[in-house]
Structure 1
Amino acid sequence: MSAKILLLETLAEEAMEILESTEEVEVIMGLDESSLQAALKSNDISAIITRGKGQVRAPLMDQIPSLKIIARAGVGLDNIDVNEASKRGIKVVNAPNSNANTIAEHTISLMLNLQRNLFTAFTMVKEGRWNDRGKYVGDELHGKTLGILGMGNIGKKVARIAEAFGMKICYWSAFKEAVPYPNLSLQEVLENSDVVSLHLPLTQDTENLINENALGQLKPGALLINTARGKIIDQKALLNALDSGKLGGFAGDVLAVEPPEADDDPLIKHPKTLITAHVGSLTKTTYTQMCTMTVENTLAILSGREPMENCIFNRKELTE
């Protein structure tokens, strides 16, 4: 195997060691526009590896006619034009299920913090306001209904953890899953849930799925959690629902625009929101696993070996 691999973003040290120790593999860095344009002068680039920011669209594919693989060190593929790659016979590779545990944990952490109002409680003590404990207001998850939108690997793990807290589970998903929870319509999930958690991919069908109409169907004071993709929620409608009191709180790891365009973004500053900077998958264990898994699968395909099951994600109808 003789191959040139273009990196659009940095990878975990362990993954880089695998690449650099593999004979006949040349790693080319294209981490910014300047280095990318220099890299594109190289002939015979066989693969691109990126994470979540590096965009791989038709114009970039046009400049690399030798491209065989586009690999994403992660799960979501919204930064890759999968349809275009499929039409060109380019394999799209991801790291399936690699982040399910850590995203499920992050989801539950956000849910607990929001339901128990823990950020306020922590801040109160750090600021020396111990006697303000009489003003503290929080609630428990036990007995609440959790509505999960998207019952994939992450949704299933979130459901099992939430069940251990004594929550009741219902879900809406594109497919009926083999789980012991009622599969309801989107409207029924929204109307019956005390907490709604999003675990959907970003597609044309899910963009702005949670809009003014959907938010209006929630129980008064319901909580909304998003560790999937920011654009699944209409952020203006979300802010209005928080301001009106219709929504009791929002916790998320993602926004429609990352990083936000302004430091004084009203959604981030809102007293009813808890927002982290898309760090749900950035635990050392998961980050390393995502990167090494992606590198190993890319090298396997380039050398003619079988990669791990389900790591190739192409539109079959476009490749036939």
Structure 2
Amino acid sequence: MIQGVKDSTLRKAIHSQRVPQLAPLPQERVESAPAGTMRWYADSQISFLSYSTVAMLIEQMEQAGKPVAFFDAQGLQSIQDLLGYLFGALPRESDLKTRVLGFIAKDSPVRNALEALASGTRTGEALVSAYWREAYNGIRKALGASSVPPLLVIDEFSLFLKNILERTPEGRDEIDQLLAAMREWRAAGMKMLLTGSIGVTALSRRYQLTGDHLNDSQPFDVPELSDDEAREFIRQAAEKLSQGRWRDEHTGKFIEECGVLYPSFLVKGLLEIGIQSPPPPGDFAGMFAHYVRPVLHDDFYNQFNKRFKFYGEIDKDGQ
């Protein structure tokens, strides 16, 4: 079971036969990354780095015995929130939480706060902020003492930063402290995959954030699938559920109508077409025209509009 995954859609994406078992994110690049020298910051391509893609990477890492902590940060508002979700997302078999507390003095006010967060209880935000240095140093030391630090995967990390910046005038200082701490965690061996539909570079420009704490990170773009990859993607999705009713001619017509081969487009198309009892390939054009493309186009352009609106605000601020 993936720890920290509270979203039922993601759970279904991992375990449902309707989501093809294909992972465009290469696990070997995560595993081979030297501790302290390689992390990913990935601006997802207009959110095409979908839950199913990230979920497959997480599942592959867990099958390989690599601990993973995953959570969605888009609704979080503070460092305290992030720490609570981080502790909650750590694998049950991980001893990191215990190690963290072991590096913090028993009489420290922040110890009780971290113990509460580790048990899933919210605590005073001001207390965590006041003793932030002690808290993040405890995590850094615990990571250094761990034989296999977890891979930290945070979805919509950039939206989390934006939430902090818009919530409080002290947001920039809070983020500067957080990013500096996370860099030290990476130096202590924790690898990170941070995704977001808004780029941190754009966020930094608008709010004049320092980029020093992220210059050790490497971007990773998720491209369209190749034609062969898309056919394999569709085969894995349709073969079992259709019990042979989905044929090569269905796949060919489906790809022709889909036009672009991002995984999220393929999944949406397959769900609308129906793979258990697929209609004749000749019906695909009408189904795409009436049911698939309108939804895809709305989602696609809504994301563009939101992103360009944000970039437009950046340009206004710079004038």
| TM-score exceeds 0.5 | no
**Could you state the TM-score of these two structures normalised by the residue count of structure 1?**
0.31
Tell me which protein shows more strand as a share of its residues: 1
Tell me which protein shows more helix as a share of its residues: 2
Q: 1 or 2 for the larger relative contact order (CA 8 Å, sep ≥6)?
A: 2
